[in-house]
Amino acid sequence: MRTYRSNLPDIMADLSDRQKYGAQRFVRNLWQARWLLAATFVALFAVQWFAELPVVVMPAAVAALLLVAGIAGGATDEDGERKAGAEAGGLQSLSAENLAAAVTDPLIVFDDSASVIHANAAALAAFGDLRPGMSLQLKFRAPEMQALIDAALTGNGSQSADFIDKLPVERVYRVTASAVGHGSRLHVLLFKDQSEARRIDRMRADFIANASHEMRTPLASIAGFIETLRGPARNDPAAREQFLQIMQNQTGRMARLIDDMLSLSRLEMKPYLKPGTEVDLRQVIESVVDSLAPLARENGLVIERDFADGPLLVPGDRDELHQVFENLLENACKYGQDGERVVVSIARSDKAPQPGIEVTVRDFGPGIAEEHIPRVTERFYRIDSETVQSRKGTGLGLAIVKHILTRHHGRLSIRSELGKGAAFTVHLPAN
């Protein structure tokens, strides 16, 4: 052993680098497995003692253990190094341009002079011309973008700001500027589109404001009548009966408003309708006509049918489609009673791009002015007319119709002329 130790430096010097590394790794593996080897030696001595094995078995067993530990450890190290080398090689083979192309958000790389080095496809699609060498400060003139680029160039770390691009359509972005690595003198702008989130937030705020307004009116009316009944009209039976009837109507209106808001909220949370279930529109509309016949008679109307022959099948949800045609026919009965009749027709359509079935509910009442037609499907939108305001409605019926048809990949078209009624046509795909 003393001779081996004294000659170890000379022996190591004669070895190649790979042999040196293998020897060092072998020794390291033995050192890491010292406790396991010690336990194994004890076990072997115990086996020899009790089993009375020949003494020559011990050196052979020890040599085998040393060899197995070194080989196993070497294989493990070799596998780990091979894996790490493959991963490093794979990352090094990726170019910055390929990485930028894999980012779905607009991304622009620029240098210390604020000149464009590279823009990915998303940035070109969003902002147009971004050729290399172009000045970012001339491309983005908004004060918030100028401040963001200046902060990035002065090395103040990662910075963020909101940027509104108004052309060709208004888009809202959350822009982050940061340095690329250390000492590269390159910087990156990443644009995160927030337009849809802002639109949803605005819709939510408008919805709450409109709902609060619609609820406040009947509540104020009820509170006023209660105060009157407890005061001046306390002993007036006729006034009491009249006020109680108005209060009942107002509570009914609030109940309908709450039901419509809940229905609309449930529809907005549902995904698009999955194909597979077929609905016979003839049966659905017959059921709707029968259920609204009393309302039509009350308003002095006759509901006429004009249905195509044969089965009228479309993919869809029966209950939701029933709600669509119930809303449309109920509106026709409420707002078209001056025309004395309502016509419900079903026809097949072979128009491009997809054949389908068209259901039209037409009334012959006062009609809708042209400027109101694009907005009648908005939530709480109601035409400012004494005739319309006098009808019982929440302003959510057509919004519900629009959402259901969107889930069914359908659409609603409206034709109207003042004094000649209105026609609401539902277009549904046949397959």
296 shares a domain with 283: yes
132 shares a domain with 222: no
256 shares a domain with 226: yes
286 shares a domain with 422: yes
7 shares a domain with 147: no
310 shares a domain with 224: no
Is the pTM higher than 0.85? The answer reads: no
149 shares a domain with 48: no
How far apart are the C-alpha atoms of 281 and 386, rounded to whole Å?
35
Give residue for tokens 């034709």: 415
Given 145, 173, 193, the domain boundary residue is 193
383 shares a domain with 282: yes
306 shares a domain with 319: yes
Domain that holds residue 170: 97-193
396: helix, strand or coil: coil
The confidence score (pLDDT) of residue 8 equals 42
- Counting residues of the chain whose pLDDT is more than 90, the rounded percentage is 9
206 shares a domain with 65: no
Q: Which residues pair with 61 in a beta bridge?
A: none
Q: Could you list the pLDDT tens digit for every one of the 431 residues in the chain?
A: 444 444 444 544 444 554 555 555 555 555 555 555 555 555 555 555 545 545 554 555 555 555 555 544 554 555 555 555 545 455 555 566 777 777 888 899 898 888 888 888 888 888 888 888 888 888 888 888 888 888 888 877 788 888 888 777 778 899 998 888 776 788 888 999 888 888 777 777 777 777 777 778 788 888 888 888 888 888 888 888 888 888 888 888 788 788 877 777 777 766 665 556 888 899 999 999 998 888 888 888 899 999 888 888 888 888 889 989 999 999 888 887 776 889 999 998 877 667 789 999 999 888 888 888 888 888 777 776 555 444 556 678 888 888 888 888 888 999 988 888 899 999 998 76
- Render pLDDT for 36-78 as a digit per residue (tens, 0 to 9): 555 555 555 555 554 554 555 455 555 555 555 554 455 455 5
- CATH number, domain of 262, equals 1.10.287.130
Nearest by Cα to 423 from 354, 365, 355, 356: 365
- Render pLDDT for 377-394 as a digit per residue (tens, 0 to 9): 887 777 765 554 445 566
139 shares a domain with 24: no
Given 250, 269, 288, the domain boundary residue is 269
308 shares a domain with 165: no
Given 193, 225, 258, the domain boundary residue is 193
- CATH number, domain of 152, equals 3.30.450.20
| Number of independent structural domains in the chain | 4
Query: Directed axis angle between helix 57-93 and helix 17-32, to 10°?
Result: 120
Nearest by Cα to 149 from 121, 175, 127, 129: 175
